[in-house]
A and B are shown apart, each in its own frame.
Chain A
Amino acid sequence: MSDAQKYWQANIRLVIGCLIVWFAVSFGAGILFVHQLNTIKFLGGYPLGFWFAQQGSIYTFVVLIFFYAWRMNQLDKKFNVSED
């Protein structure tokens, strides 16, 4: 496998990993399992499922994008495809 292919595969793996988290905090915790999670109280008076739907998912999205950007910059350097 060429370096370009390896770089692309590593990229795809990273994106899939990030999107699993993206799906889990929003569609999972915020919608599909919201009833179960709402029985847990969080940060004072937040039902946990409700918190994920209106707060937690958004914070996670922010962290995810910066994590992705940081990992991609590492991959760019490792495979020597960085712009600088």
Chain B
Amino acid sequence: MTNLQMWTYAVVGTTFALYIFIAIKARASTTGEFYVAGKGVHPVLNGMATGADWMSAASFISMAGLIAFKGYDASVYLMGWTGGYCLLAMLLAPYLRKYGKFTVPEFIGDRFYSQTARVVAVICLIVASLTYVIGQMKGIGVAFSRFLEIPFNYGLFLGMGIVFIYAVLGGMKGVTYTQIAQYCVLIFAYTVPAIFISLQLTGVALPQLGLGSMMADGSGMHLLDKMDKTLLDLGFNAYTTQKGSTLNMFLLTMSLMIGTAGLPHVITRFFTVPKVKDARSSAGWALVFIAILYTTAPGVGAMARLNLINTIQADSAPLTDVQREAGDIIDTSQNLKIDALPAWFTNWEKTGLLKYEDKNGDGRIQYVGKNFKGVDANGDLIVNEMTKVDRDIMVLANPEIAQLPNWVIALVAAGGIAAALSTAAGLLLAISSAISHDIVKGIIAKDIDDKTELMAGRIAMAGAICVAGYLGLHPPGFAAQVVALAFGLAASSIFPALMMGIFAKRVNNVGAVLGMLAGLGTTLVYIFWFKGWFFIPGTAMAADNASNWILGISPGSFGAVGALINFVVAITVSSFTAPPPEHIQHLVEDIRIPMGSKDAVDH
């Protein structure tokens, strides 16, 4: 066993022991504890748990890479996935906490006095959460197979086993306290390498400031300035300037924001705090804990990309303005030799995340963009020889590229696993609560007692873990597309229904149901039209590119339009039909004031 493997086993093993210890300490004995942790979670701790709940394997492993390769255009994810918390804090969380029930579909069903509305909400919740869970399961498997070099499926089973122990035993209570521990692991694992790398490149410890600082290499250039110029000289797009259309950036940011605010597993976290005012401040704390990672990620992305270029390019300094005017081209003839590759390069090549091909046979690697005009010794145009640089590499291999010690690399493994486990548990909890509380208790067997419902919750959780595990082992081919689907569903159906339930007293059952169906329907059709019906290859009605999109709106950005359709339909239909009955109007008035939420604690 290598030194790195020993470190990895030690760090990952310690975190797992901690999760199991918490699971045993925090068992749930009532449905209140199983669904909402007895509504006794401190707002700061709930913020931390929400951070872990929200930040998935994608946030931890993929987001910095996305920024590294897309530059400014990736800002949509940074703003979209954080700005949603403002909407959550001001428009939903305090009121839903005041209502004091267990699940999101339950509020929709009660407020719109409609079993249909509740069922539509349950379906959206299950589809959105299941699609999301697939990615987490894959993330757990990848982390295990890469860092511990054990087969993908063993890693997955181990992850399922751990989630099984604390989620089935502890429900929301167990999940909450493990998420708090997982947040600490993941944020430590993310920021430590980032600080090291920022120090190496700029001499500034905080990546948030390092990204805007001067390079420490004595070139007298700002890091972002060097990025822009070197990338342009190598034939790539500039880093800080916009590539995509403004309309799409606008709509995608909006869709991600309202999708974030409408994701049930996040909303449910705010049911666990004691008071309405705790729900407000807890959303702020959640965003503090999320912002620590999200403001670090841009630094990690840019610095990792620069490190990658530095490794391959013998001299990564950009041309001077005079040279550029004279038509000079950056020299690639002294680049990284294929027979002298660094160890991390060959390690990651084995995983298939990194591939190269010496196309011009000069024994060196050229990493250039499609606008590169340079020619080699034979006078042939130099083309890109890094045939694959997976974006996940930017976080996973980052510590190795920067030559950080082994314990830091081991930490990244534990952090990736913590991020995936915590999000998976939150999603599975949302699914199992919807099944046991909304379907079993709400529709099928209304008069079961608390104990039976708790048992139903545990069985639903066990079932959900098995389904998620199966989907992780046999991921449907469309796994990459489904994130757009999850956000589209949450944005176009759940968020508008919840917001109108609180802010528009006049919206009635018919309006809400038709609004949800209209928003959901148009969004689904728009996504399927370009991605294929139910993502089945070959069934798309038109090629998925900007010239076919209506007004140039990409399928991933359509959720905001779907939400608008939902609002318009619901409000119009409601104005032509009977207003909601008296007791519903009182219900809305009651959730608008914080007073009296203590009664709800007893449920």
Does B288 sit at the interface, judged by CB under 8 A? yes
Residue of B nearest to A54 (CB): B298
Contact between chains at A4 and B75 (CB < 8 Å): no
Contact between chains at B75 and A54 (CB < 8 Å): yes
Binds A, one of B78-86, B188-196, B564-572: B78-86
Q: Write out the residue numbers on chain B whose beta carbons fall within 8 Å of the beta carbon of A57.
A: 78-79, 82-83
Q: Write out the residue numbers on chain B whose beta carbons fall within 8 Å of the beta carbon of A58.
A: 78-79, 82, 287, 291, 294-295
Does B460 sit at the interface, judged by CB under 8 A? no
Decide: A54 near B597, CB < 8 A? Known: A45-B225, A69-B89, A69-B281. Answer: no
Interface residues of B in 262-283 (CB under 8 A from A): 275-277, 280-281, 283
Does A32 sit at the interface, judged by CB under 8 A? yes
Q: Write out the residue numbers on chain A whose beta carbons fall within 8 Å of the beta carbon of B276.
A: 83
Contact between chains at B86 and A45 (CB < 8 Å): no
Contact between chains at B86 and A61 (CB < 8 Å): yes
A1-45 near B? 1/0 per residue, CB < 8 Å? 000100110010001001100100011001110110010001111
Across the interface, B79 reaches (CB within 8 A) one of A30, A66, A76, namely A30
Interface residues of B in 41-96 (CB under 8 A from A): 67, 72, 75, 78-79, 82-83, 85-86, 89-91, 94
Decide: A66 near B593, CB < 8 A? Known: A22-B83, A45-B213, A58-B291. Answer: no
Decide: A22 near B86, CB < 8 A? Known: A4-B589, A45-B224, A51-B212. Answer: yes
Q: Chain A, interface size: which category? A: 35 or more
A47, chain B: closest CB distance, angstroms: 5
B601, chain A: closest CB distance, angstroms: 11
Decide: A53 near B72, CB < 8 A? Known: A45-B222, A58-B79, A59-B291. Answer: yes
Contact between chains at A55 and B295 (CB < 8 Å): yes
Contact between chains at B295 and A45 (CB < 8 Å): no
Q: Write out the residue numbers on chain B whose beta carbons fall within 8 Å of the beta carbon of A15.
A: 90-91
Contact between chains at A83 and B594 (CB < 8 Å): yes
Contact between chains at B287 and A47 (CB < 8 Å): no
Q: Write out the residue numbers on chain A whose beta carbons fall within 8 Å of the beta carbon of B86.
A: 18-19, 22, 61, 64-65
Contact between chains at A7 and B225 (CB < 8 Å): no
Q: Write out the residue numbers on chain B whose beta carbons fall within 8 Å of the beta carbon of A46.
A: 211-212, 224
Across the interface, A69 reaches (CB within 8 A) one of B82, B211, B277, B589, namely B277
B280-304 near A? 1/0 per residue, CB < 8 Å? 1101100110010011001000000
Decide: A65 near B283, CB < 8 A? Known: A7-B593, A59-B291. Answer: yes
Across the interface, A68 reaches (CB within 8 A) one of B214, B275, B280, namely B280
Does B596 sit at the interface, judged by CB under 8 A? yes
Contact between chains at A43 and B212 (CB < 8 Å): yes
Q: Write out the residue numbers on chain B whose beta carbons fall within 8 Å of the beta carbon of A54.
A: 67, 72, 75, 78, 211, 295, 298
Q: Write out the residue numbers on chain A whose beta carbons fall within 8 Å of the beta carbon of B275.
A: 83-84
Binds A, one of B136-144, B245-253, B548-556: B245-253
Q: Write out the residue numbers on chain A whose beta carbons fall within 8 Å of the beta carbon of B249.
A: 31
Interface residues of B in 549-603 (CB under 8 A from A): 589, 592-598
Contact between chains at A68 and B595 (CB < 8 Å): no
B142-186 near A? 1/0 per residue, CB < 8 Å? 000000000000000000000000000000000000000000000
Decide: A81 near B595, CB < 8 A? Known: A44-B214, A64-B86. Answer: yes
* Complex-state Cα separation, A64 to B298, whole angstroms: 22
Q: Write out the residue numbers on chain A whose beta carbons fall within 8 Å of the beta carbon of B594.
A: 76, 81-83
Most buried by B among A50, A57, A72: A50
Does B31 sit at the interface, judged by CB under 8 A? no
Contact between chains at A72 and B277 (CB < 8 Å): yes
Q: Write out the residue numbers on chain B whose beta carbons fall within 8 Å of the beta carbon of A30.
A: 75, 79, 253
B207-244 near A? 1/0 per residue, CB < 8 Å? 01101111000000011110000000000000011100
Contact between chains at B287 and A65 (CB < 8 Å): yes
Contact between chains at A44 and B222 (CB < 8 Å): yes
Contact between chains at A45 and B212 (CB < 8 Å): yes
Residue of A nearest to B298 (CB): A54
Decide: A45 near B223, CB < 8 A? Known: A31-B249, A53-B75, A68-B280. Answer: yes
B137, chain A: closest CB distance, angstroms: 29
* Complex-state Cα separation, A44 to B85, whole angstroms: 29
Contact between chains at A26 and B240 (CB < 8 Å): no
Most buried by A among B295, B298, B594: B594
Q: With A4-B592, A34-B72, A58-B287 given, name 7 new contacts (CB 8 A).
A: A7-B593, A27-B250, A30-B75, A34-B242, A58-B291, A62-B291, A83-B276
B residues neighboring A (CB under 8 Å): 67, 72, 75, 78-79, 82-83, 85-86, 89-91, 94, 208-209, 211-214, 222-225, 240-242, 246, 249-250, 253-254, 275-277, 280-281, 283-284, 287-288, 291, 294-295, 298, 589, 592-598
Q: List 27 A-B contacts (CB under 8 A).
A: A18-B90, A30-B75, A31-B75, A31-B249, A31-B253, A34-B72, A34-B242, A38-B241, A45-B224, A46-B224, A50-B72, A54-B298, A55-B208, A57-B83, A58-B79, A58-B287, A61-B85, A62-B284, A62-B291, A66-B284, A73-B277, A73-B280, A81-B593, A81-B595, A82-B277, A83-B594, A83-B595
A residues neighboring B (CB under 8 Å): 4, 7-8, 11, 15, 18-19, 22, 26-27, 30-32, 34-35, 38, 42-47, 50-51, 53-55, 57-59, 61-62, 64-66, 68-69, 72-73, 76, 81-84
**What 4 pairs across the A-B complex have the smallest Cβ distances?**
A45-B222, A53-B75, A65-B284, A69-B280
